[in-house]
Amino acid sequence: MIKQLLGWVALAVAAVTMVVFLTSQQSDFKVTYAGSPGGSTTPSGGRGSATVPDTAELTRLLRTSPVVRLPGAIAQWDTTAVGAAIGDSGLRILVTPPGLDDASTQRVQQLKDADLRVIGTAVSTGTYAVTGTELADWRDQFATGDVTNDLLLLIAHLRERPEPVQKHLFSWRAPTAAETAVVAADLRSSGFHRGRGSTVTSAPRSSPAFPNGRALYVTLPLQPFGRPVPEYGPALVKLFPDTPIVVMYGAWIEYYGPHAADFAEIAAATFYSQAERVLDRLAYSQQGVLDTYLNRVTDVRFAGLFDRPLPYEPPDPLRVTRPALPWVFVACVVLFVALSLRPMVRPVWRRSRAVAAGTPAQLAALTALAVEMSALTDRRSEPALARALVTLTAARDASRDDLPDEHVRALLRDAEAELDRCARLLPYRGYRPAEYLNGRIA
Check residue 370 for interaction with other proteins (CB under 8 A).
Answer: yes
Write down the least CB distance from residue 223 to other proteins, Å.
22
Per DSSP bridges, beta strands 93-96 and 116-119 are: parallel
Check residue 3 for interaction with other proteins (CB under 8 A).
Answer: no
* Position among 65, 133, 202, 206 found at the interface with other proteins (CB under 8 A): 133
Check residue 16 for interaction with other proteins (CB under 8 A).
Answer: no
Interface residues for other proteins in 380-419 (CB under 8 A)? Answer: 389, 392-393, 395-396, 399-400
| CA 335 to each of CA 11, 143, 324, 349: distance values in angstroms, whole numbers, following the listed order | 8, 78, 17, 16
Check residue 343 for interaction with other proteins (CB under 8 A).
Answer: yes
For residues 80, 84, 86, 88, the Cα torsion angle rounded to the nearest 10 degrees is 130
* Position among 330, 347, 350, 405 found at the interface with other proteins (CB under 8 A): 330
Residues contacting other proteins: total by CB under 8 A: 92
* Position among 29, 49, 88, 212 found at the interface with other proteins (CB under 8 A): 29
Q: Report d(CA 135, CA 234) in Å as an integer.
A: 19
Q: Report d(CA 403, CA 426) in Å as an integer.
A: 33
93: CB partners within 8 A, 6+ apart: 66, 67, 68, 114, 115, 116, 117, 118, 151
For residues 180, 181, 182, 184, the Cα torsion angle rounded to the nearest 10 degrees is 80
| Of 182 and 356, CB closest to other proteins | 356
| Of 232 and 272, CB closest to other proteins | 272
Q: Which residues pair with 118 in a beta bridge?
A: 95, 123
Question: Position 383: which residue type?
Answer: P
For other proteins, which stretch binds (CB under 8 A), given 96-104, 203-211, 283-291, 353-361? 353-361
Check residue 9 for interaction with other proteins (CB under 8 A).
Answer: no
| Of 41 and 141, CB closest to other proteins | 41
Interface residues for other proteins in 155-214 (CB under 8 A)? Answer: none
* Position among 109, 337, 347, 405 found at the interface with other proteins (CB under 8 A): 337
Write down the least CB distance from residue 303 to other proteins, Å.
5
Given a contact cutoff of 8 angstroms between Cβ atoms, the answer to whether 415 and 395 are in contact is: yes
H/E stretch holding 256: strand 252-256
| Of 87 and 360, CB closest to other proteins | 360
DSSP 8-state class, residue 231: -
| Of 54 and 313, CB closest to other proteins | 313
Given a contact cutoff of 8 angstroms between Cβ atoms, the answer to whether 42 and 278 are in contact is: yes
Interface residues for other proteins in 240-279 (CB under 8 A)? Answer: 263, 265-267, 269-274
Interface residues for other proteins in 64-123 (CB under 8 A)? Answer: none
| Of 197 and 326, CB closest to other proteins | 326
